[in-house]
Structure 1
Amino acid sequence: MASTENTVPELQRSLRDLMRQNSRAGRVVVAVDALDADAAGSFADAFAAAVGEDGTAVVRASLADHADDVRESVVAPFRAGEPVGDSAGAPADAVLVVSGRFLHAPEVRGLWNFSIWLESNPPIGAPRPELPDAEKHYLRTVRPKAAASVIVENSDPAHPVQVFGDFC
């Protein structure tokens, strides 16, 4: 029996289309946030590829934890059409995809037009690893699952699934 689950590219395209429902034109800034910066980077690379499939110019940036200058060094130049990183500049309808950790923190969450929170859980029955205090504090106080535009369960990066949180 054939599986009916979506492929990774189908999920990425679905997320791209969801982003475009709310941000049809102009320079759009997207954040991919996770506790694992490498997972966020890989997911953001695939998302950027999906966004670029239709010829949209895409700029990628990875941020260090608590990048205090992200507004001045990445977002403001992008929105002004200036070069960011290795890019030559952003045309009028470009998309900037930023990856990193702690991207839903109050001081930066307003920078994003669209954001993705990558949730990652250990397999059922496996012990949950103890998180560092900074990560526990972030999850408890910032609540990135509630702040994100989209939640993706990414425990198995080959089979990520969009999760619809119920906050009632």
Structure 2
Amino acid sequence: MSSPENAVRDLQRSLRALMRQNNRAGRVVVAIDALDQGAAREFANGFEEAISDEGTAVFRASLADGAPEARERFIAPFRAGEEFGAGFVAPSDAVLVVDGRFLHSPEVRGLWNFSVWLENNPPIGAPRPELADAEKHYLRTARPRAAASVIVENSDPAHPVQVFGDFC
């Protein structure tokens, strides 16, 4: 049974199970996307730990906005079993967890086998912070909530919650 102290760990394990439904083996690339780079990095670190707990080799990368270098620098060599990043070579079963902003933009969204969109909503009644123009444009055009494999409401990082975007 889940406990409040293990809310993050339980969610990370649940997401790992979801990822494994369609990606049982091989070299898998996972994106953790958020407008808040720090939140994406923290969540990705936890997901890395959840992958490691299952005994799978796991690698991490943090990417700049939009990840323009991701394909050549990380993804293609990782998938090919060649040297990538800081001289790593992935075994045949491995996971690369990347974090960043704008990772669901049309130019890179096809790179990920599995992706998480982190939302950070203000408390009820609190004003919503003003977003930068680039962030507004990204949300409007890339629609990361629709593009992601999973949506996580992460306003309280100690108690993230998976959100289901359908209205059935």
TM-score (norm 2): 0.94
Where does residue 64 of structure 1 map in the other structure? Answer: 64
Measured on the aligned residues, the alpha-carbon RMSD in Å equals 1.7
- 2: CA distance between counterparts of 1:87 and 1:60? 13
The structure carrying a bigger strand percent of its residues is 2
Asked if 1:39 is matched to 2:26, the reply is no
**Is this contact kept in 2: 1:59–1:87, CA < 8 A?**
no
- 2: CA distance between counterparts of 1:136 and 1:45? 26
- 1: CA distance between counterparts of 2:160 and 2:105? 24
**Is this contact kept in 2: 1:27–1:78, CA < 8 A?**
yes
Asked if 1:50 is matched to 2:50, the reply is yes
Where does residue 82 of structure 1 map in the other structure? Answer: 82
User: How far 1:167 moved relative to its partner?
Assistant: 5.2
Structure 1, gaps ≥5 residues long:
none
Question: Quick one: structure 1 residues 75 and 3, their matched pair in 2 at CA, closer, same or farther if it must change by over 3 Å?
Answer: closer
- 1: CA distance between counterparts of 2:16 and 2:98? 14
Question: Quick one: structure 1 residues 126 and 7, their matched pair in 2 at CA, closer, same or farther if it must change by over 3 Å?
Answer: same
Work out the number of aligned pairs and report it.
167
Question: Quick one: structure 1 residues 4 and 140, their matched pair in 2 at CA, closer, same or farther if it must change by over 3 Å?
Answer: same
What does 1:72-151 correspond to in 2, within 5 Å?
A: 72-86=72-86, 88-151=88-151
CA shift digits 1:41-97 (9 cap, x unpaired): 000010011011021000100001123121000101111112333463100010000
**Is this contact kept in 2: 1:57–1:93, CA < 8 A?**
yes
Identity over the aligned pairs, expressed in percent? 75
Secondary structure of the structure 2 residue equivalent to 1:103 = coil
**Is this contact kept in 1: 2:4–2:159, CA < 8 A?**
no
Structure 2, gaps ≥5 residues long:
none
